[in-house]
Copies of this chain bind each other. A is one copy, B any other.
Amino acid sequence: MNKKRIVIALLSLAMGVSYSWAQTASSIVEDFKPTPVNQPGSQFPQVNSEGRVRTQILAPEAKRVQLDIGAVKYDMVKDANGLWTGESAPQDVGFHYYQLNIDGASVPDPGSLFFFGACRWGSGIEIPSNDQDMFAVKDVPHGHVHEVLFPSKSTNTSRRAFIYTPPGYEKETSKRYPVLYLQHGYCENEYSWPNQGRANLIMDNLIAEGKAKPFIIVMTYGMTNDISFGGLRNFDIKPFQTVLVDELIPYVDSNFRTLADQKNRAMAGLSMGSMETKSITTNRPEVFSYIGLFSGAMFNPEEVKDKSTVKLIFQSCGSKERPDGVKQSTEALKKAGINAVSYVSEGTAHEFHTWRRSLHQFAQLLFK
């Protein structure tokens, strides 16, 4: 794309006018392929080697159809049969939520699988990355993801959790395992880590490579979406802390073969889940010894009450977020004598590929 086109595009965006990428068709690399998160048999959406997304939808009577991804709406173009086609600008590697806009209606793309993010189930797309092998389905032993409904007196409900048990868990019936409690972000839920996060496949592969100790991962809904709009400051950790520490952990410890003590328990979370992790591990230091904060909260050394009980503080973000903040905070923790590790995901922003990579790094440091 030349400078003139960039100026036109930026002006169009600034003026609230959608910019038609069809104008740049000659510059698009024509090596689009259907993605691994398409609906079974669906030829669209597709992604090319530049990371552009192309999709199609039949809408013969529509006046305007747009592909809405990365906070930009790209006009699609109609052919004589009423089939609309359009492409986005190149996207960062990894997973992104997106939708279509048909004559003003925001709807999922029926060609994609659906994922929970942005506070709803909607379309997702996978842009190939050079490290996607870390969550590929390989011919290795696979753990199980258990969907459980655990009793919660404090909320008077049966609540869902997904529990990853590592390969061999069902057979080695005398072995007990450490546990990581892993939280999603705001407007996501307990499906986010096993689905778009690919937590189970990341673990299967790490364990097969001998890079991580086998452990259990527990993923439940962090009640993050129940706060009122703009109310992050008013978020009260107590109700979720009660569910997690006083209800879910006892359930897991009595229904799974866990090593049920502080030194064998970790908590981590992404974005708002990292804020929850920081609060809960601070409030209940006798429960967790390993702490992971992905793209959000960070610790100051003076916030760590008892350094002797903290085995690890891992802090990470994408290179397109605030990597300097993560690095500086981690250096300060190290100087204070705390075992702290920072990680920066190259070329990614506040999105799930940053968090997959963060889990991939963090998991290798746990329970060793």
Residue of B nearest to A168 (CB): B255
Q: Which residues of B contact A90 (CB under 8 A)?
A: none
B-contact 0/1 string along A147-164, CB 8 Å cutoff: 111110000001000010
- List the B side residues contacting A173 at CB < 8 Å: 173
A142 neighbours in B (Cβ, 8 Å)? 148-150, 158
19 contacts between A and B (CB under 8 A): A42-B120, A57-B105, A57-B107, A58-B105, A59-B103, A61-B103, A63-B63, A63-B103, A103-B103, A108-B114, A110-B122, A137-B158, A139-B158, A142-B149, A144-B148, A144-B163, A145-B147, A147-B200, A171-B254
The answer to whether A106 has its CB under 8 Å from any CB of chain B is: yes
Question: Which residues of chain A in 61-82 are interfacial with respect to chain B, using CB atoms and an 8 Å cutoff?
Answer: 61-65, 82
Partner of A102, one of B107, B151, B256: B107
Contact B104 A41 (CB under 8 A): no
A35 to chain B, nearest CB (A): 15
Given contacts A138-B158, A142-B150, A144-B147, 15 further A-B contacts (CB under 8 A): A58-B106, A59-B102, A59-B103, A61-B63, A61-B64, A62-B105, A102-B102, A105-B107, A107-B107, A110-B122, A142-B148, A144-B146, A144-B148, A144-B163, A147-B200
List of 10 A-B pairs having minimum Cβ-Cβ separation, nearest first: A59-B105, A61-B103, A62-B103, A142-B149, A60-B104, A61-B104, A145-B147, A107-B107, A144-B146, A170-B255
Given contacts A82-B104, A102-B107, A105-B57, contact A40 B171 (CB under 8 A): no
- Nearest-CB distance from A259 to chain B (Å)? 16
For residue A208, CB closer than 8 A to chain B, the reply is no
Q: Which residues of A contact B (CB under 8 A)?
A: 39-42, 57-65, 82, 100, 102-108, 110, 113-114, 119-122, 137-139, 142, 144-151, 158, 163, 170-171, 173, 189, 194, 200, 225, 254-256
Looking at the assembled complex, report how far the CB atom of A138 sits from the nearest CB atom of chain B, in whole angstroms: 8
B225 near A171: Cβ-Cβ < 8 Å: no
Question: How far does the Cβ of A17 sit from chain B's closest Cβ, in whole Å?
Answer: 15
Instruction: Give the shortest distance, in Å, between A175 (CB) and chain B (any CB).
Output: 12
Residues of B within 8 A of A163 (CB): 144
Which residues of B lie under 8 Å from residue A39 when comparing CB positions? Answer: 120-121
Q: How distant is A200 from chain B, measured CB to nearest CB, in Å?
A: 8
Number of copies: 2
Query: In the complex the two chains form, what is the Cα distance from A122 to B65 in whole Å?
Result: 20
**Contact A108 to B105, CB < 8 A, known contacts A148-B144, A170-B256:** no
Is B147's CB under 8 angstroms from A62's CB? Answer: no
Inter-subunit contact B103/A110 (CB<8 Å)? no
- Interfacial chain B residues near A147, Cβ < 8 Å: 144-147, 194, 200
Q: Tell me the minimal C-beta distance from A41 to chain B in angstroms.
A: 7
Among residues of B, the one whose C-beta sits closest to the C-beta of A107 is B107
Q: Using CB atoms, name the residue of chain B closest to A122.
A: B110
Separation of A138 and B254 alpha carbons in the complex (Å): 20
Note all chain B residues with C-beta closer than 8 A to A110. 106-108, 120, 122
- B40 and A120 contacting across the interface, CB-CB below 8 Å: yes
Q: How far does the alpha carbon of A256 sit from the alpha carbon of B82 in the complex, in Å?
A: 52
